[in-house]
Amino acid sequence: MADADEEVINSTSAEAPQIEVDLSDETQDFRLLNHLSFLGDTASSSLPKRGEKDFEPNPTEFQADVLSASRQAMHNALSHPRIHNPKNRVIGFYAPDGPAPPPQYVETPKDKGKGMNISPDACVCIPNPKGKFFQNTGQTDRWNRVWLLPEEALYMIERGSMDIRWPTSLTGTTEMGGDVSEDEVSIPMSLQAAYACFMGQGGLTLERYSVFTGLKRLGYTVFRAPGWDDSAKPEDSNNEKKDAYAQLKQLRHRGPGLAGILASISDWIHDPMSTASTTAGPVIGCGIHRSYSDVYRKMELIPWYDPVLAPQRDPLDTIAPFRVVFHVYKPTNVIKKTALPTPDFRIAVVNTREQTSIPTLPQLGALLESTPLDPPSGEKMERLLYMRLRHGYRNVVLAVVDQGVTSFLRIGDAAFGKEKLFDAKHVPSGGKKHGFSKQRRR
């Protein structure tokens, strides 16, 4: 008695056609990496294909050999050193006490009180910034030095693009004899030291860092959002805004909202034939009904949620972990770090070991209301009902991290009530091909 759905499942299990194969979804055989030649040859850095795997271990020597070759390949790949060409080496200095003016700088009374404009969480200073990375990383101070946030510094050292030094004030200077600069006497920080010193600094958790680097590796530009600090609360100075929230909330209690009220008034004006009263008598009263649309409109008894009318919420007025911590920009866009445009994606980071349940409606509602309205637009959206529903009126991305494994879920605030199926122009076209797997409907 297999129905259509089951047939789909059975066929997928029999032939297992992988629709979207994400290579990062499973452990790859590191031997494939050996096909790539490293060090200096960038022409062949395309990714290898999926490797063949066996079903289960057997006691053959052949299998043991293959396994040990795989492990050796992994060992070799992971022991690749981080080396810096002296020509384009970038040196940063760890500043455990946060941003500070250069040591030789004497504060003049004129400059007193002038802020450095650097995030207090910044912890690595680069006196001579050069290279492409600083176009969208770090903040520049008055002395043309670039300051990096802990996650930025850690990512740079991890990808082998920066040489971070312990401050000589911390480790003491080493007499190497002769007149030498700080570059030569300071001790390079190891990757392990960088993790130990930067992780946990200024709200950086390993989960957030995993999401940050995962996106950076794919080429996205990632910046901290105002909601980064878990304890940050909205400022009370914007009372006006709050009043507006309250008003809007009141409106919401009156059913489908202002538009709904206006619509019902206009309906009443435009439809003198109406004899219906839903409290007493039939929904569709007697009279002459000229079109189905009017009849259907009268049958709209159930109030529905309209995301357009939901109040705009301060991004800080949300509860961690369901608050936006990263603003993400697509790789194609050129970003000026001094004037950030509206982000392409907003991301909240959730750790599965601390948050074991899916968000409650108030948590999710608050999270969505803290993002700006982003109604479906464009030719395709106007034509396809399914695309409109999928896109939603607000959206946010949840990055769920389980012990280093990350999944991204896009949550869209879909408005089913806004789609009048009885209006001819809204008749859905195109089949339901993609399924609603990652959508929230409410």
Partner 1 sequence: MDQPTLPIPISFISGRYLLFSIDDVTYLRREYNTCGVLIGTLPQIPQQNVFLGLPLELMPEEARLLVDKGVACIVDEAKAHDGMQSLLEEDRRQYLRELESQGLHATRILAERKDQQRDQKFKEKSDKKAATARAAAKAGGGDKHDSPATPANDSPASVADFFDDSASAKASTSTVPEQIYAVTPTTSYPPLPRPSTSSNNILARPDVPLSYPLFAHLQSRGYFLSPGLRFGCQYVAYPGDPLRFHSHFLVVSAEWDQEIDLMDIIIGGRLGTGVKKGFLLGGPQLSREQAESEIERTESVRTFSIEWAGM
Subset of residues 217 to 246 that bind partner 1, contact rule: CB under 8 A: 217-219
- Residues of span 356-375 touching partner 1 by CB under 8 A: none
Determine, following the binding rule CB under 8 A, whether residue 3 of this chain makes contact with partner 1. Answer: no
CB of 184 to partner 1, least distance (A): 9
Determine, following the binding rule CB under 8 A, whether residue 407 of this chain makes contact with partner 1. Answer: yes
**Angle at 221 (CA atoms; ends 218, 224), nearest 5 degrees:** 125
**Spacing of C-alpha 297 from chain mean position:** 40
Between strands 163-165 and 221-224, the pairing is unpaired
Determine, following the binding rule CB under 8 A, whether residue 148 of this chain makes contact with partner 1. Answer: no
20/15 Cα distance (integer angstroms): 15
Count of residues engaged in binding partner 1, rule: CB under 8 A:
94
Between 64 and 299, CB nearer to partner 1:
64
391/394 Cα distance (integer angstroms): 8
Determine, following the binding rule CB under 8 A, whether residue 435 of this chain makes contact with partner 1. Answer: no
Task: Please give the structure tokens belonging to residue 302.
Answer: 């159930």
Judged by CB under 8 A, which stretch of 33-41, 274-282, 287-295, 303-311 contacts partner 1? 33-41
Judged by CB under 8 A, which stretch of 140-148, 303-311, 384-392, 398-406 contacts partner 1? 398-406
* Residue carrying the six token digits 């859905």: 428
CB of 436 to partner 1, least distance (A): 17
What are the phi and psi torsion angles at 226 (to 5°)? -60, -30
Determine, following the binding rule CB under 8 A, whether residue 134 of this chain makes contact with partner 1. Answer: no
Judged by CB under 8 A, which stretch of 150-158, 231-239, 300-308, 421-429 contacts partner 1? 150-158
Q: What is the SS3 assignment for 92? A: strand
Task: Please give the structure tokens belonging to residue 268.
Answer: 């009443």
Between 35 and 254, CB nearer to partner 1:
35
Determine, following the binding rule CB under 8 A, whether residue 153 of this chain makes contact with partner 1. Answer: no
What are the phi and psi torsion angles at 336 (to 5°)? -95, 125
Between 176 and 339, CB nearer to partner 1:
176
CB of 392 to partner 1, least distance (A): 23
121/232 Cα distance (integer angstroms): 14
Determine, following the binding rule CB under 8 A, whether residue 19 of this chain makes contact with partner 1. Answer: no
Determine, following the binding rule CB under 8 A, whether residue 275 of this chain makes contact with partner 1. Answer: no
Tell me which amino acid residue 68 is.
S
Determine, following the binding rule CB under 8 A, whether residue 381 of this chain makes contact with partner 1. Answer: no
CA-to-CA dists, residue 328 to 24, 202, 324, angstroms: 20, 20, 11
CB of 324 to partner 1, least distance (A): 21
User: Contact, 165 vs 93, CB < 8 A?
Assistant: yes
User: Contact, 275 vs 332, CB < 8 A?
Assistant: no
CB of 207 to partner 1, least distance (A): 9
- Residues of span 187-206 touching partner 1 by CB under 8 A: 187-193, 195-197, 199-200, 204-206
CB of 410 to partner 1, least distance (A): 17
Binding residue for partner 1 (CB under 8 A) from 133, 134, 147, 166?
Answer: 166
CA-to-CA dists, residue 23 to 46, 213, 261, 348, 416, angstroms: 13, 17, 52, 24, 35
Between strands 345-351 and 395-402, the pairing is parallel
CB of 83 to partner 1, least distance (A): 4
Judged by CB under 8 A, which stretch of 123-131, 186-194, 236-244, 274-282 contacts partner 1? 186-194
Task: Please give the structure tokens belonging to residue 219.
Answer: 């080429």
Between strands 146-148 and 139-140, the pairing is antiparallel
Binding residue for partner 1 (CB under 8 A) from 102, 402, 428, 438?
Answer: 402
- Residues of span 293-352 touching partner 1 by CB under 8 A: 352
Between 63 and 247, CB nearer to partner 1:
63
What are the phi and psi torsion angles at 400 (to 5°)? -100, 120
Between 29 and 369, CB nearer to partner 1:
29
- Residues of span 56-95 touching partner 1 by CB under 8 A: 56-57, 63, 66-67, 70-72, 74-75, 77-87, 89
Determine, following the binding rule CB under 8 A, whether residue 210 of this chain makes contact with partner 1. Answer: yes
User: Contact, 92 vs 120, CB < 8 A?
Assistant: no
Q: By C-alpha distance, which of 25, 23, 27, 47 is closest to 36?
A: 47
